Amino acid sequence: MNRLSAGKIITNATCNKAMPSSKTIFQQNRKVIPGGVVSVNRAIAPEIAFVRGQGSHVWDADGKEYIDYHAAFAPFILGHNDPDVNAAVAKVIADGATLMGSGTNPWEGHCAALIVKHVPSVEKVMLTNTGSEATYHAIRIARAHTGRNGVIVMQGGYNGWHNDVALNVMTPTDVIGPRVSPGEYRKIPLSAGVPDSALDDVHVVNFNDLDSVRWVMDQYDIAALILEPILQNIGIVHPQAGYLQELRDLCNARGVVLIFDEVKTGFRHAMGGYQSICGIMPDLSVFGKAIANGYPIGAIGGRASFMDYFVHENPAKRVLIAGTYNAHPISCAGAIATMEKLASADFEHLYAMGEQLETELTTLFKEAGIAASIARQGSAFCVYFMDRTPVDWHDIAEHHDFALDERYRRALIEKGIYHFPLATKQGSISFAHSQTDIDETLSKTRDVLQSL
């Protein structure tokens, strides 16, 4: 199939030229990469090696084309290979704006200024390469500010791969037991090699459960509470009415730093992040993903009184942030171009595509007699194979049909609709998705539901 995109015809032949098959690529990579894939979260069956993306479509090494809703775990808000973002990146390269590693540059200032302009709680910004680095540094600021060590995270939330936060996401309930309230969950790190001493300072509570937050705050000296304001690593789990405000009030009362991890919500649901939608202002916010439409960057932002810990006059209070590649002109150019393009983009159109998918998928599931409900925030959605949208991880673990979810995803992939084939992973629509894409998705979903 040929496709005309951004003025360029991409054909299967182009993809196949001198390209080994997915199978061969996996076989070769396994010889030199543990498991064959450099990020273990990406190692998933069916084993597909993707080699090209354009707009809302991606192509694998065998030349098969897919409408993409995975969006590489969600950075692609403008679609793959956006011509304006690429042109901005190409320009800094052509201009010789390489990494200097000394002093500042105009791109990091421009990038920070755009974040300050759009995100209501942010007065100052630091830039990293990834979301994980950004959450790491946000927690460090909280500890420096409070002189305490404890951190509260959410069961079912993901805030990156480092020791303070990499635990208890899609934890089997036979491992952590039933819902705990008030109290904290048994800690199940996502990785071996995490020292017990690191886990001592982390406390995992249930999302949408204020009693557990109070309970943990009563027991321990807590520096920070970090959460995705919508849990988007187990689909789309919304905060219940009043929950975020109550968290804000509790943090104020106890002197705890409230960190919103807006790596997935920021610049996807609104230019001002989810905080601009819910009206609750965190002390610190963390961004990544959609901020640069696929170029590698993370950001920490907040009130100057917090951010200035990076330059605190007392060396004992000063928070270290360093990184050879922090604010690389390429990443900054990608972020600046993305934010500028998004600032004049029609988010209502994006949300309308989301609404259409939600409404029509709901009808399709109903017609097929399959119990399913669709949770959505704007352009991000998740089909839950249960009779309502969930309130927390335990709700999902106890009621969602995981096997059916994965069968559904694999059947869609067969038909050329790419969702990450792991149950509850978020679907993301981009500005590059067209009405044709949505119609084709719905028609193929109808076929899939008949064969499930």
> Residues in the site for ligand PLP, rule: CB under 6 A?
73, 130-132, 135, 158-160, 228, 233, 261, 263-264, 288, 298
Q: Which is nearer to ligand PLP, 163 or 362 (CB)?
A: 163
Q: Cβ 262 to ligand PLP, closest distance in Å? A: 8
Q: Which is nearer to ligand PLP, 300 or 364 (CB)?
A: 300
Angle of CA points 28, 29, 33, to nearest 5°: 140
Q: Cβ 128 to ligand PLP, closest distance in Å? A: 9
Phi/psi of residue 54, nearest 5 degrees: -150, 120
Q: Which is nearer to ligand PLP, 139 or 449 (CB)?
A: 139
d(CA 399, CA 215): 27
For ligand PLP, which residue has the nearest CB? Answer: 131
CB 92 within 8 A of CB 66: no
Q: Cβ 161 to ligand PLP, closest distance in Å? A: 6
The conformation of residue 387, written as its DSSP 8-state character, comes to S
Q: Which is nearer to ligand PLP, 204 or 448 (CB)?
A: 204
CB 301 within 8 A of CB 116: yes
Q: Cβ 147 to ligand PLP, closest distance in Å? A: 26
Instruction: Kindly state the tokens that stand for 342.
Output: 């998004």
Phi/psi of residue 338, nearest 5 degrees: -65, -50
10 Å CB burial of residue 39 (0-12, 13-18, 19+) is exposed
Q: Which is nearer to ligand PLP, 15 or 169 (CB)?
A: 169
CB 153 within 8 A of CB 202: yes
CB 57 within 8 A of CB 410: no
Q: Cβ 124 to ligand PLP, closest distance in Å? A: 20
Angle of CA points 167, 377, 55, to nearest 5°: 95
How remote is the C-alpha of 431 from its chain's centroid? 17
CA proximity to 53, closest of 89, 6, 20 = 6
Q: Which is nearer to ligand PLP, 127 or 364 (CB)?
A: 127
Q: Which is nearer to ligand PLP, 273 or 390 (CB)?
A: 273
DSSP per-residue codes, 115-177: HHHH-TT-SEEEEESSHHHHHHHHHHHHHHHHS--EEEEETT----SSTTT-B-SS--HHHH-
Q: Which is nearer to ligand PLP, 297 or 353 (CB)?
A: 297
Q: Which is nearer to ligand PLP, 12 or 130 (CB)?
A: 130
H-type alpha helices, 344-401:
347-368, 393-399
Q: Cβ 401 to ligand PLP, closest distance in Å? A: 24
Q: Which is nearer to ligand PLP, 206 or 445 (CB)?
A: 206
Q: Cβ 423 to ligand PLP, closest distance in Å? A: 16
Q: Cβ 293 to ligand PLP, closest distance in Å? A: 14
d(CA 295, CA 78): 12
Grouping H, G, I as helix, E, B as strand and the rest as coil, residue 127 is strand
* Residue found under tokens 């849990």: 231
d(CA 381, CA 195): 36
Q: Cβ 271 to ligand PLP, closest distance in Å? A: 18
| Residue 311 CB neighbours (<10 A) | 10
Q: Cβ 134 to ligand PLP, closest distance in Å? A: 7
How large is the C-alpha radius of gyration of the chain? 22
| Residue 449 CB neighbours (<10 A) | 18
